[in-house]
Amino acid sequence: MQILERLEVSNTNTIRVSALHALAYCPRLFYLEEVEELYTQDAAVFAGRRLHAQLEKQEDEEWEELFLESEELGLRGKLDALRTRDGQIIPYEHKRGRAHRDENRQPQAWESDRLQILAYACLLESALGITVKEGRIRYHADNVLVHVPLDDAGRTTVKEAIEQARILKQSTHRPPVTDNERLCARCSLAPVCLPEEARLTHDRDWQPIRLFPEDDERQVVHILEPGACVGRSGEQIKITRRDQPVEKVSARQIGQLVLHSFSQISTQALHLCAEQDIGVHFISGGGRYLGSFDTRQGSVQRRIRQYAALSNPDTCLELARKLVICRGQGQRKFLMRGTRGKTKVPEILEQAIAQMKAVLKQVPQAKSLESLLGLEGNLAALYFGALPCLISKEVTTELHFHGRNRRPPLDRFNAMLGFGYALLLKDVMNAILTVGLEPALGFYHQPRSQAAPLALDLLEIFRVPLVDMIVMASVNRGQWDAKEDFQVRGQQVWLSETGKRKFVELYERRKQESWKHPVTGYSLTYRRLFELEVRLLEKEWMGEGGLFGHLILR
């Protein structure tokens, strides 16, 4: 499934008839689509399009598709079909599913479908100046035709729905989750709305049904070779590497393109990536995250709410406390894993674990971001000071860790950490852009480089499980060649092309592993948890908070 954002190119003073259908189904769904401009393309959407394409191919001289707009009524829409019966013009709607059945098992229109066909009938009357007596809905799953009469009560219903839609479009508050959870199970925007997580926020005993997509199975393609070119061939991404055959991959199979070093991408390929919701990210030859191709449109209301929330110092402090606790506890528990099965634990490791526990107790009482930064610095110093204790004695000294250093990295261990954090920052940015938040509006980190503050904030949640753990595990397993996998330039140490390729493989494999969320209780791969955590962050200022920042290593 692809989550897309788009702008309506039409009269913004009129309401789409299909939007009234969403409104009758669920006001929150209407708000997500019409105000926040979020739409989906999933299996149901494509199946609906196939149905209409098949109908259009039928040799039916009475078939007519018509777009109408009435400023007087405040409505616009495209009718599926018009037919003439006994001298009367009748609008038709076609639905893939089954009709609703009343207590006598007689077929009826679903309420949202009824409003939709009544709205089309009213639109016909207003736009063409005719009288319409009824509309009809064909439910193809059970081959039922339902007649929906248009009377004064029906016209009033349509006008009231249009007025409700106008009020909602002017609101800055997203409506609450519907009480009818069965609607959520069939809703295409459930992965954006997260209704089960919202219910869980208000009732921790709630037993959620899983609605967030299990995984995005599209590939993450890394272009590591300098001079490689990414282009477009129809609906395919074309990759040209030196002295290698041209590789073509269907755009639908790609979730991200990551261009390292001096690899290039064409304008045509960028257009295709924008159309297919493919993230495009750039990482330098030295393993530094450079930036991302931002194709967001719309969702202004969401960023207004984000700005309002993150302009509040109290909100920022509360979120920052959660972040520091999440990272600090994860670091401490990773160190604790190093004590398992050992009869004699190094004193520095024992002391670090005990001191980190004491510092973490002070975090909830921190009164400012400045004091929180001091506590976080203490936690990081204790963690990195004890991290060498987790390295096996059999590991060559060239791969040992003697303390954290950044740019440039001065040893092989830090070179791996730095490259890993760049890949991680890229994935966090991809999730932020996918959700539609503003990366520049963070709550903890301050703008200090090209790295966006919100991305640096969310990075903290995933550092230990997705980078620190795979670096330590791969070093202890002897998976690195100290000569072939690294380049030493004076005092600087970088991953070689072979080393980068090896690290990318380890990192992408780790992202495919699952984590059972400690609050929601369901398991997701890390690659899905990026997006989930961004959406849970947004819920913190939507009145549905409480689930953000709980991804703590066990």
pLDDT at 86: 82
pLDDT at 342: 78
8 A C-beta contact, residue 405 and residue 421: no
> 44: which 2 tokens?
């149901």
Closest CA to 467 of 414, 410, 514: 414
Look at residue 9 and tell me whether its pLDDT is greater than 70. Answer: no
pLDDT at 506: 96
CATH number, span 2-188: 3.90.320.10
**Helix (H), strand (E), coil (C) string for 463-497:** HHHHHHHHHHHHHHCCCCCCCCCEEEECCEEEECH
At 23, which amino acid appears? L
| Segment holding 222, helix H or strand E | strand 219-223
For residue 408, say if its preceding peptide bond is cis, omega within 30 degrees of 0: yes
Question: How many whole angstroms separate alpha carbon 79 and alpha carbon 130?
Answer: 16
CB atoms near residue 464 (< 10 Å): 24
pLDDT at 40: 64
pLDDT at 450: 65
Mean pLDDT, rounded, for 403-408:
85
CB within 8 Å of 401: residues ≥ 6 apart: 387, 388, 391, 411, 413, 414
**Percent residues over pLDDT 90 in the chain:** 59
Give the SS3 label for residue 260.
Answer: strand
pLDDT at 306: 92
Angle value at C-alpha 47, between 44 and 50, nearest 5 degrees: 155
Question: How many whole angstroms separate alpha carbon 226 and alpha carbon 500?
Answer: 12
Question: How many whole angstroms separate alpha carbon 179 and alpha carbon 165?
Answer: 20
Question: How many whole angstroms separate alpha carbon 262 and alpha carbon 235?
Answer: 24
Longest dimension (CA), the chain: 94
Closest CA to 426 of 260, 192, 195: 260
Look at residue 474 and tell me whether its pLDDT is greater than 90. Answer: yes
pLDDT, greater one: 7 or 550: 550
pLDDT at 495: 94
Span 110-148, pLDDT tens digits: 999 999 999 999 999 988 888 999 999 999 888 999 999
Question: How many whole angstroms separate alpha carbon 276 and alpha carbon 253?
Answer: 10
Q: Do domains 219-283 and 309-539 have the same CATH topology?
A: no
Look at residue 48 and tell me whether its pLDDT is greater than 50. Answer: no
CATH class name, domain 309-539: mainly alpha
Would you list the DSSP string of 55-71?
HHHS--TT---EEEEET
240 pairs with which residues across the strands?
A: 229
Look at residue 224 and tell me whether its pLDDT is greater than 70. Answer: yes
**Helix (H), strand (E), coil (C) string for 136-199:** EEEECCCCEEEEEECCHHHHHHHHHHHHHHHHHHHCCCCCCCCCCHHHHHCCCCHHHHCHHHHH
Which range, of 132-146, 313-327, 463-477, averages the lowest pLDDT? 132-146
pLDDT at 298: 66
Which superfamily is assigned to 219-283 in CATH?
A: CRISPR-associated endonuclease Cas1, N-terminal domain (3.100.10.20)
Tell me the HSE value of 272 on the side-chain side, using a 13 A CA sphere.
Answer: 23
Domain spans in the chain, listed from the N-terminal domain onward: 2-188, 219-283, 309-539
Average pLDDT, the chain: 88
Look at residue 309 and tell me whether its pLDDT is greater than 60. Answer: yes
Look at residue 473 and tell me whether its pLDDT is greater than 90. Answer: yes
Question: How many whole angstroms separate alpha carbon 159 and alpha carbon 162?
Answer: 5
Look at residue 57 and tell me whether its pLDDT is greater than 60. Answer: no
- pTM, whole model, 2 decimals? 0.85
Look at residue 235 and tell me whether its pLDDT is greater than 90. Answer: yes
Question: How many whole angstroms separate alpha carbon 194 and alpha carbon 300?
Answer: 20
Look at residue 297 and tell me whether its pLDDT is greater than 90. Answer: no
Look at residue 60 and tell me whether its pLDDT is greater than 60. Answer: no
Tell me the HSE value of 131 on the side-chain side, using a 13 A CA sphere.
Answer: 4
Which range, of 4-13, 33-42, 198-207, 436-445, averages the lowest pLDDT? 4-13
Mean pLDDT, rounded, for 418-447:
92
8 A C-beta contact, residue 13 and residue 71: yes
**Helix (H), strand (E), coil (C) string for 541-552:** CCCCCCCCCCCC
Mean pLDDT, rounded, for 463-485:
95
Which letter does DSSP use for residue 252 in this model? G
Look at residue 12 and tell me whether its pLDDT is greater than 80. Answer: no
Polymer length of the chain: 554
